[in-house]
Structure 1
């Protein structure tokens, strides 16, 4: 790919001589590919990136680590039937090396590992092909992998698939994952015993005696730097030494990631480490484990991603490297799908198709029956399934876009295959699914015209709490305990990423639980962002009951009211609903145990979306004051609970006065 314009201004620093092209050296234990910009060394035949030389820097990776712990693909797997989401880490050390293509313009290398029955129980039943590509004049390299299983192979599970780079800790101290999420970072040594104090779980460490005093009293936790998939396009690290150098991981497409554009993944964190996550159970739990029963074949291409390295002249502002990395990211996005991959499993542009249309919303109690443009709707193609199934789908490819202000959408560069079309619209509850599956063929351009989404609706709104956007961000997020601060998130829009906020609930409500009064309280100030357990003593916790108080002037005892409970996440929780009598042994409604998303502990503001529609007989309401009791009953740990997205109480549907009084709108 080409270089951004301002980066080309500094091209003389790179000695930009295109005549050399790409060169390849094959040694006994190593394979070295290099061009005018950099040199990349991989172990032979393991396929581990052991070194990246850039100008006068001998190795951008951490030479203090063993060679297998510098730049590597890995996965976590388990045998079928294994409980939970903890499995065996496999660093995917391959056994065979092949040169796929070698010329002055390009080198593509293949490192493969084949499975056979003698490896059963010892190695994940997959054939794996790791590819690495270097192009002439490119200040970086590409990597992708092809995973394949045969139908007759044994059943197994996969929890996580990723590519990791451990960078030189003496050089890379500044991390950037977004315009408003970048900072100087602690050293990995600061997390060690004597310098760091372990907190409620291993990932979170309080820095009590860091090497750099400025970090003293901060909490370091890799989950504080997670992002939703659609926003993870470029992230990485800057060395502020002269000359400044940047190391960036660029993901031009998210078609190969699991669970849609909202799924949250890790990015960069203390190490210095930069990650490319392709599949993970974070913020979703067991619902997103890749489960392969015997008899199911599977093949998927993960990537390519681009590892981009840039530099400036001595004395230049190192933050210009972030701006340049964003420009390079746009170049990579506009070049997708790449045309230089040798694998037949990666389809080129002319082997793909597209779908377009328009999505409208019909909500009779919002627009008097008129159509509303689905402004900003998420519209996507994923494996055929029920409405909303895309957020738990993890074996196939997904293709997403956002509708414009008039509801028009276009999904391009779609692989051939059979898909369902899904959507959800910010501002409205529920999920949309097009009635017919869509078959994508090469070069097809399908326009499916106007589609209409009718969100769940029973009757007019009596009251509502929150915004239906699948996030709890609009609710009250407290200031953190001063002893557990991450300075990045002080006065930040993502303040929910601070450590220990779950403990603030009991401090704010020491004598009883949250009580919210409709038309008096403000959910941005009076509705705590997460419904958590309460600590009884140092070892035990108890469930909590929140109250919603409201007034009804007229009650139709012969009719049904509807309570809409949209949850942004749940973790090992059971939410029960009672009306006006909290002592009733049998709840009107219970979710049963739901969720293993661990969003509370991992500083998230949403995980998986849950929508519950509770029918409330009018006989349970009073004319005048009423109370709905929401009880989260399960209470073994501080991390159990739910986050609400949106709550709405709907009146019974009004009767149509033009017809018989017994006829009402359904």
Structure 2
């Protein structure tokens, strides 16, 4: 068999029956019509009885390869294109590199929410998973046999704890490298750029896990996801759109070596060897955000996305996307942007801007090749006459700062929030408020109003910012026990899966505002209540911030 031969240079060989073998002197793999198997590396098969490598979209719509050819060949590498009806998956194999660069070029994908490639590998050889958030053994396959399945890919053990693939999720734009490894072998995905990922800073998706039906070790490479942790949408994919290149990298299981390789890839990106004009045509963007009260927009989240800035950032997935944060003076810069026209959005990332709940938007940002688009000073308009009565939590579209907010991904955590809670303004702090409200009961905010304030103003404004909502929980908002200010639930909020898929930080952001006539507020003590009157296990409201202010 060719897997047992040492072929020094990169190669592709058609072996009939819709199958090909390709690789170099360090590794080789056999590609069939759908699955690639028999990954020969370091003297043995790293896939074994597992399913192998494949690519697809939206569930099990796996691509079927019709042909393969070398489209570029140099003294250093070959670029192999595997062609399917939907597009072409490229493997770029360099001499002496354990692994391969990969990228996918769209030809005819339908509107999609998810696109991914992945390896399902030998579970004996690959026993642990590693992301930037988590590095530990994968659950042993035997654990699933005596566990109770409670929802998709989620099981409850006899001791009450849970195992789920969602616990291995993370934010795609914060990653360094993801992979699976054992004592002798590591398999890693390294993305030196995230410009081909959908969504903004808060886009999150799956990474690695144990396949519950077979025990395979799963190494996921989800490069498009507008579904798993947000309101599910499909987006059109332009012909010629490229996902990648990323590096699939093999080593002896060393995380230190994978980290070294990741730094090397960062230094080489954008890759000079990709022969695509639109990929190579890039410019840069700079600007300085300043609030209308003359404060710099310190630490603001900055997103370069679709020209239609009315489209939710997490629902954007047709084009290329860039994210960064402003510095202390509000200055931001984004290098190596594909040329084209974009929309710019910015919002508070908490801290200095913790009281700012408006967004900055600007359309028609033009990026030209080899040029810097300098936007100069940008004026971010915020309300100028509002005076805060109280605020709980910073506005940052995340549950950070609350009890359990930002905790490691874990299933069922929302159910541990109390049913009833009293928060007293001036005595309590954000850590006394929980990240998610789920159980039947009432959370009260007790606050005081000075008589002088009631004389000088006529209206108060209550602003509620939710970092996410998972149906079918229902909430009634009351003032002083009997005045209903509003009702929130599945009737007026579209659900996202974050809370029941182990998320503790963010899902889809929602903002609600309610005007309160000053006559409804008492001199002295008042009470604002959030009453959960419809309950579904593991669902509920993911909090971002609450502010009451005079307007």
TM-score, normalisation: structure 2: 0.89
Equivalent residue for 1:393? 316
Q: Does 1:37 align with 2:22?
A: no
Asked if 1 retains the 8 angstrom alpha-carbon contact of 2:485 and 2:514, the reply is no
Correspondence for 1:290: 234
Pick the aligned partner of 2:139 from 161, 186, 193.
Answer: 186
Question: Counterpart of 2:401?
Answer: 474
SS of the aligned residue for 2:444 comes to strand
Long gaps (5+) in structure 2: 1-5, 211-215
Other-structure match for 2:46: 60
Aligned residue for 1:594, secondary structure, equals: coil
Superposed CA offset, 1:133-182 (max 9, x none): 111222210122122349xxxxx64232111111111111122112x521
TM-score, with length taken from structure 1:
0.74
Shift of 1:465: 0.7
* Larger proportion of strand: 2
1:268 aligns with 2:211: no
In structure 2, what is the Cα distance between the partners aligned to 1:647 and 1:494? Answer: 18
Whether the 8 Å CA contact 1:598–1:639 is kept in 2: the answer is no
Deviations 1:229-263 (A, max 9, x none): 112230112211xxx32111111111111111221
Please list, as runs of the form range in 1=range in 2, the aligned pairs for 1:92-491 lying within 5 A after superposition.
Answer: 92-114=63-85, 127-149=86-108, 157-178=111-132, 181-191=134-144, 193=145, 196-207=146-157, 219-240=162-183, 244-270=184-210, 271-285=216-230, 287-292=231-236, 298-311=239-252, 321-343=254-276, 347-348=279-280, 351-362=281-292, 369-372=293-296, 374-386=297-309, 389-427=312-350, 428=353, 429-456=356-383, 458-477=385-404
Q: Aligned residue for 2:213?
A: none
Number of matched pairs:
531
Q: How do 1:11-22 residues align onto structure 2 when only pairs under 5 Å count?
A: 20-22=8-10
* Preserved contact between residue 106 and residue 238 of structure 2 (Cα < 8 Å): no
Per the alignment, residue 442 of structure 2 pairs with 545
- Structure 2 CA distance for partners of 1:298 and 1:551, relative to 1, 3 Å: farther
Q: CA deviation at 1:632?
A: 4.3
Q: Over residues 534-559 of structure 1, what are the superposed CA-to-partner deviations in whole Å (9 max), with x where a residue is unaligned?
A: 3xxxxxxxxx4322111111243661
* Partners of 1:458 and 1:630 in 2: CA distance: 27
Bigger radius of gyration: 1
Deviations 1:436-473 (A, max 9, x none): 41122222211111113234565111111112222213
CA drift of 1:532 comes to: 0.8
Cα distance, 1:325 vs. partner?
0.8
Instruction: State whether residues 466 and 543 of structure 2, in contact with CA within 8 Å, keep that contact through their aligned partners in structure 1.
Output: yes
For 2:343 and 2:70, the matched residues in 1 are separated by: 38
TM-superposed CA distance for 1:521, in Å, is 2.2
Structure 1 residues not aligned, in runs of 5+: 1-16, 77-87, 115-126, 151-155, 209-215, 312-317, 363-368, 478-492, 535-543, 653-666
Contact in 1 for aligned 2:149/2:155 (Cα 8 Å): yes
CA contact (8 A) 1:562 1:649 kept: yes
Evaluate the alpha carbon distance shift between residue 596 and residue 300 of structure 1 in structure 2; reply closer, same or farther with a 3 A threshold.
Answer: farther
The residue that corresponds to 2:516 in the other structure is: 616
Residue 19 of structure 2 corresponds to residue 48 of structure 1: no
Q: Look up the SS of the partner of 1:347 in the other structure.
A: helix
Evaluate the alpha carbon distance shift between residue 613 and residue 174 of structure 1 in structure 2; reply closer, same or farther with a 3 A threshold.
Answer: same
**SS of the counterpart of 2:434?**
coil
Give the distance between the partners of 2:136 and 2:389, measured in 1 at CA. 46
Q: CA RMSD of the aligned region, Å? A: 2.6
Q: 1:305 to 1:578 in 2, by over 3 A?
A: same
Secondary structure of the 2:519 match is: helix
- The secondary structure found in structure 2 opposite 1:451 is strand
1:414: how far off? 1.2
